[in-house]
Structure 1
């Protein structure tokens, strides 16, 4: 079943708020080998003007994954998880994510196209804080393999 091209332009509801924990930031930083003290040491982060440790620049993928779940659980989308390859990822940040932030993501499918027997789905997840202020936009392309012949 190919991806439903009518999902282009679809916007999913905002996710429930995600409270960014200090230890989650540290765990993520270790996982991506981000060794800068701002990701691990509260005193260093505060000395640099932050309220707490700051997340590595790729941390928004945690929030984006929550929005992808909405897309993947949507039967009208026609996307089969087992056929997905992550094709591209970009982040455009307004500010750093800090432990203690309460973040919400909202996904919009910005493009659906077919290419070489596969479908490409481009999504943008706008991440906002508890005050509704923009923090980061995560843009990704998912390649959905076509049915085997």
Structure 2
């Protein structure tokens, strides 16, 4: 089943507000191999002029997983989760964010397109991340929906 682009781009996602917790940020930074102590050590962050631990750049992607059903929109679009692949992700940063910040995420589907005669469909989701109404970052993720029967 192909994705209806109009339906996908008309989907309304509830905003999600998440508080960035210091221990979780430090754990994430260590897990991804971050060695700069401004992400894991409060004293080092403050000595570097920051008010708290910095949020690691790719941490924003994991925040969306805090939603009650983070992939429910795929089911709503009739997408079989067994057919999806992670295509890519990218970020545009507007300001630094720190442990203790309350961040609001507002996702939306921004584009749907296909390649290889419909064998691959690409679902582009953009999430604006704000703090107190100011844009902190934009996260873009691309999911690939495989339709192997279309390639035959």
TM-score by length of 2: 0.86
Deviation of 1:45 after TM superposition, in Å, equals 0.9
Aligned residues, how many?
Answer: 146
Query: In structure 2, do the counterparts of structure 1 residues 78 and 4 end up closer, same or farther at CA, with 3 Å as the change threshold?
Result: farther
Which residue matches 2:79? 79
Where structure 1 has 5 or more consecutive residues not aligned to the other structure, the ranges are none
Any idea what SS the aligned residue of 2:99 has? Answer: coil
TM-fit CA distance, 1:64: 3.3
What does the per-residue CA deviation read over 1:17-48, in whole Å, with 9 as the maximum and x for residues that have no partner?
21111110111001100010101111111122
Residue matched to 1:104: 104
What is the match of residue 49 of structure 1? 49
Distance in 1 of aligned mates of 2:142 and 2:39? 27
- Report the equivalent of 2:61: 61
User: What's the CA shift string for 1:47-102, capped at 9, x where partnerless?
Assistant: 222111112111111123346x45x3134422222211111111101122210011
Cα RMSD of the aligned pairs, angstroms, is 2.0
> Equivalent residue for 1:132?
133
Where does residue 147 of structure 2 map in the other structure?
Answer: 146
